[in-house]
Amino acid sequence: MGKALETAKTLAIANHKGGCGKTMTAVSLATGLARRGKRVLAIDADSQGSMSVSFGISDHDKLTATLATAMTHIVNEADFDPLEGVIYNPEGVDVMPANSNLSALEISLAGIIGRETVLRQYIEKVKSLYDYIIIDTAPTLDLLTINALAAADSVIIPVAPKYLDALGLGLLLKSVAQIRRQINPNLAIGGILLTMVDRRANLTREVIASIESAYGGKIKIFTESVPRSVRAAETSANGVSIFQHDPNGKVAAAYSALVEGVLANG
């Protein structure tokens, strides 16, 4: 394993819509980068803890130290070990888990000056230890998702080829533009990743065509889409990545292509 970069590249995985494979994308990207010898920290910024469960942390609600703990220390300007709560996953990823305590923290953040940058301040403390930091966000533009986008160098947007999801993409891009103007001018859009794709369906092909027509000239759309797969849906329940659960499948191949695309961008 090579020496970590001076500054980790921070990638947020975000979409207002649920059911688009967002957590699957975050877990697969983090694990894929680790498989390529990169030091990776995966941050679960969703109080539902979906990423934590997907990494095999089934008892996340019983954890005494989570992302909420670290962010509380930041708010209180307390000295603390920034790796407190980080759990090493056997597939090579360090995981900062989340649980329902994150919801309570979000409420307390509302009245704090600089509430949008608390996560960024935490990441500043750990980024010298990693090459990549991957943040999974909630399927809504809540304060924690704004924190993630405020901390990120770029955002990858998983989109399922459904009519309503395509409509929601425009709203998300407006939110990203607003965060870029007001909070994080360095935030880039890393690309749109089509997920849960069944190209046999006429509507799927029509929605993909409309997304490519509307955004393809302005935003990168990853050429390798992620197909719909029952095997992929099983990974979260088993607490392992697609690379371990179905290494020779089409979903693993698609996420391998995403990893290569991210590595090619530095």
Q: With pLDDT > 90 as the criterion, what percentage of the chain qualifies?
A: 74
Residue 132 domain-assigned (yes or no): yes
Strand partners, 191: 156
Residue 90: both structure tokens together: 């056997």
End-to-end Cα separation, the chain, in angstroms: 17
Task: Report whether 8 contacts 128 (CB < 8 A).
Answer: yes
For residue 148, give both structure tokens: 């993630």
Contact 54, 27 (CB under 8 A): yes
Number of domains in the chain: 1
DSSP 2: P
Rounded Cα gap, residues 217 and 87, in angstroms: 41
pLDDT at 262: 95
**Could you tell me the pTM of the whole model?**
0.94
> Is the residue at 222 inside a domain?
yes
User: Is 3 among the domain residues?
Assistant: no
pLDDT in tens, 134-155: 999 999 889 999 999 999 999 9
| Domain containing residue 185 | 9-261
Q: Assign residue 192 the CATH number of its domain.
A: 3.40.50.300
Residue 94 lies in a domain: yes
What is the gyration radius of the CA atoms in the chain, in angstroms? 17
Summarised one tens digit per residue, pLDDT across range 40-85 is 999 999 999 999 999 999 888 899 999 999 999 999 999 999 999 9
Q: Is residue 16 part of a domain?
A: yes
CA dist list (Å): 39 to 34, 94, 131, 136, 263: 6, 8, 5, 17, 13
Residue at 214 is within a domain: yes
- Per the domain annotation, does 182 fall within a domain? yes
**266 domain residue, yes or no:** no
> How far is the CA of 127 from the CAs of 4, 28, 69, in angstroms?
9, 20, 18
